[in-house]
Amino acid sequence: MSDAKVKIQLITSPIGSPEKHKKIVRALGLNKMNQVVEKPDTPGFRGMAKKVPHLLRIVE
């Protein structure tokens, strides 16, 4: 298995976003603004991040 990780940062509040977007943000483990989480670089997590690109930033 690959040990590749991707860092995801919450840059915009999900308040006012559809409930589906809020659930995706919570499922990624993001609770607070500017919080950064490190997740495995799998197609599943990449797809979740692509659903809400206006709320997240991929940190290099």
Q: Is there a contact between 7 and 33 (Cβ–Cβ < 8 Å)?
A: no
Whole-number pLDDT of residue 2? 67
Question: pLDDT truncated to tens, each residue of the chain (60 aa)?
Answer: 568 999 999 999 999 999 999 999 999 999 999 999 999 999 999 999 999 999 999 998
Cα–Cα distance for residue pair 18/44, rounded to 1 Å: 20
Q: Does domain 5-59 correspond to CATH entry 3.30.479.10?
A: no
Cα–Cα distance for residue pair 15/17, rounded to 1 Å: 5
Cα–Cα distance for residue pair 45/1, rounded to 1 Å: 16
pTM: 0.88
Whole-number pLDDT of residue 3? 84
Whole-number pLDDT of residue 10? 98
Query: Does an H or E element contain 45, and which?
Result: helix 43-51
